Structure 1
């Protein structure tokens, strides 16, 4: 059995290495292209390593387009959505997990059913509402519609239900209020789940293209995902600069994942153990 287990483990390890390499190939090609001249990009057969790295491509993207403004907009929008979503989702999850009121479970199932509605279906009504409120080309219009989602409420509710109620009962005996229990007991014990939701939300919103594309028309309000299209002209695309901008654009997602990595696996493992 030990020999079979070792063979199985090594086989799984080799399979995971192969899958990891296959997934990393596009990122390596993106980085390689960002260091090439425009002529080298179209060479055939393609070369994985440029003859002379052109690091100046990373300096040029800041002068060709207002890329710094695009990054700032993405940081503001993604960060604000993440913080507000954590606040709203944790409050809602606390109500569904800890408070007893008539129709709680039915209301939660109804709220959860909204996950089956594609975002493209609600996009037009959301845009009409944002347009009527004159919130197009504003941070409010970019942030507000993305704050409320059922996924975060479901994720946190399942985690809150795994926390023993003994902590809550002890706090009530000491005269603690509902908000005190939520802020001083539930939230500190839910750091893994909150970190997991924060990473998922930030990465998704950082890479969000469709909603900013609909709401934003001013160049000063564009996010990174829309700003990358600025390197595509009517008669051609500067692929080396586009890939350099894409490399910089993907770094915040990687940093967010590395920061929350130690909580990510724990949060996914513990969430959903109790229905």
Structure 2
């Protein structure tokens, strides 16, 4: 076997290979750094307003307008939080919000599961047109439907009541769509095996498919709670009595006449209102993530 002499020609490919590998490694590192920088910028834009809100809620009213603004308050105080409790019946409006949003979330989970299962697994006339009609309602803003809804609730005697906020919000087109897609990803053989054993459609749904749909139901529940906890428009139109105010309506009253209230007190109320929504999101984060990753868009 003849040895290959070590010359300039034999060294160039090796040197070129090392340079290519170094260039590829540098490119990958720059790509990683670019992604990290992009995520850091998005995180800053997302968390920045929250940090600023908390910081301002800990300042005195005069310090809220200091220039240049400072993230860390020079004289941190909890007076703004005490002012919230002095100006509002925080426990009452928090209870109202918890009751309204909790019942809406539970109602949407039940209605979305039933409707989604029907559209995914049951055969009936006009199923596709009806499902298309359900999806079409997602394109109609609440500002258009609020007047007929108000008139219907008025005839039923449900205006200025918490029940008037709950009942119209229980049907959910998005939740129905989401649960339909979720049920479509489940094997049909599970339901067919239960039917062979003598189970009817309700038993198949309750005992076979509903337990498997818990991650999807977690998505519907968490999103419904966070949306309706912060909902302002419908309560503004339907509620007039202070004892029926929800958290967003109570926070507006902190602004005072012509917006002359303390900005620190207003933002302290905003911080207090964020706590339940953040807690629900943290608790439901794992099933929410599992539900999003395991659900598909099978049609």
Question: In which range does the TM-score fall when normalised by the shorter chain?
Answer: over 0.9
| Greater relative CO (CA pairs within 8 A, separation 6+) | 1
Deviation at 1:271, TM superposition (A): 2.5
Q: 1:18 aligns with which of 41, 44, 55?
A: 41
What are the Cα deviations for residues 3-54 of structure 1, in whole angstroms up to 9, with x where unaligned? Answer: 5344323311221111101211111111011111111112222222112211
In structure 2, distance between residues paired with 1:54 and 1:192? 42
The answer on 1:36 being equivalent to 2:78 is no
Conserved? CA contact 2:165–2:234, under 8 Å: yes
Q: 1:172 aligns with which of 182, 187, 195?
A: 195
- What count of residue pairs does the alignment treat as equivalent? 275
In structure 2, distance between residues paired with 1:87 and 1:186? 13
The answer on 1:270 being equivalent to 2:294 is yes
Structure 1: 5+ residue stretches without partners: none
Of the two, which has the highest radius of gyration? 2
Conserved? CA contact 2:255–2:262, under 8 Å: yes
Q: What is the match of residue 258 of structure 1? A: 282
Q: What is the match of residue 68 of structure 1? A: 91
The answer on 1:230 being equivalent to 2:259 is no
What are the Cα deviations for residues 174-193 of structure 1, in whole angstroms up to 9, with x where unaligned? Answer: 21222221122111111211
TM-score (norm: length of structure 2): 0.88
TM-score (norm: length of structure 1): 0.95
The answer on 1:45 being equivalent to 2:68 is yes
Secondary structure in 2 matching 1:38:
coil
> Which of 102-111 and 214-223 deviates more?
102-111
Q: 2:210 aligns with which of 181, 187, 191?
A: 187
In structure 2, distance between residues paired with 1:105 and 1:93? 12
Deviation at 1:74, TM superposition (A): 0.5
The answer on 1:208 being equivalent to 2:225 is no
Q: What is the match of residue 128 of structure 1? A: 151
Deviation at 1:270, TM superposition (A): 2.9
Deviation at 1:118, TM superposition (A): 1.5
> Which of 54-63 and 184-193 deviates more?
54-63
Tell me how large the CA RMSD over aligned residues is.
1.4
What are the Cα deviations for residues 42-68 of structure 1, in whole angstroms up to 9, with x where unaligned? Answer: 222222211221123323311221111
In structure 2, distance between residues paired with 1:132 and 1:247? 38
Structure 2: 5+ residue stretches without partners: 1-23
1:2–1:155 CA distance, 2 compared to 1 (3 A): farther
Q: What is the match of residue 5 of structure 2? A: none
Q: What is the match of residue 16 of structure 2? A: none
1:185–1:214 CA distance, 2 compared to 1 (3 A): same
5 Å-filtered alignment, 1:32-181, equals: 32-181=55-204
In structure 2, distance between residues paired with 1:200 and 1:4? 39
> Which of 232-241 and 158-167 deviates more?
232-241
The answer on 1:245 being equivalent to 2:269 is yes
> Which of 61-70 and 121-130 deviates more?
61-70
